[in-house]
Amino acid sequence: MALSITVSGCATGQKFRGPITIASNSEIIVVSASARQKPDGILVGGDVHRSNGYAGAIPGHLHVIGWDGSGNAVATADVPWGEFMSRRFRLAYFKAFLPTNNVAAISKISIEPVNP
């Protein structure tokens, strides 16, 4: 399941104007994501949801990629999602930083969960 979303606020800095494509798998659903430009890269943050609703830790990480206009990966980050604290609040928060010397080179961002 892939979804392209409009970005909204995430920390300080200029809002990233390109699309953010989020994907999900059978265990993890990326619910939302937003990004802000920094002088040395792009800060990406958002929420993930565990599909079965259980609390606790689940192994894996998010693979976050910054793509240029030609479809080349110019920055990547593999980051853990937070712990799912309870069945009632089934969201966990993630934060990733895509380091780059040329923030303008990143035209879109993709986020994908990876489970072992």
Residue 32 belongs to a domain with what CATH number?
2.60.40
Q: What confidence tens digit (pLDDT) does each residue in 47-82 have?
A: 998 887 776 778 899 999 999 999 999 999 999 987
Cβ-contact 78, 63 below 8 angstroms: yes
Query: What total number of domains does the chain contain?
Result: 1
Q: Which domain holds residue 50?
A: 22-114
Cβ-contact 45, 62 below 8 angstroms: no
Cβ-contact 99, 40 below 8 angstroms: yes
pLDDT computed for residue 63 by the predictor: 97
Asked whether residue 17 is domain-assigned, the answer is no
Asked whether residue 16 is domain-assigned, the answer is no
Asked whether residue 6 is domain-assigned, the answer is no
- Res. 3: pLDDT tops 50: no
User: Residue 14: which pLDDT band, with cuts at 50, 70 and 90?
Assistant: very high
pTM passes above 0.85: no
- Closest by CA to 1, choosing from 40, 30, 38, is 30
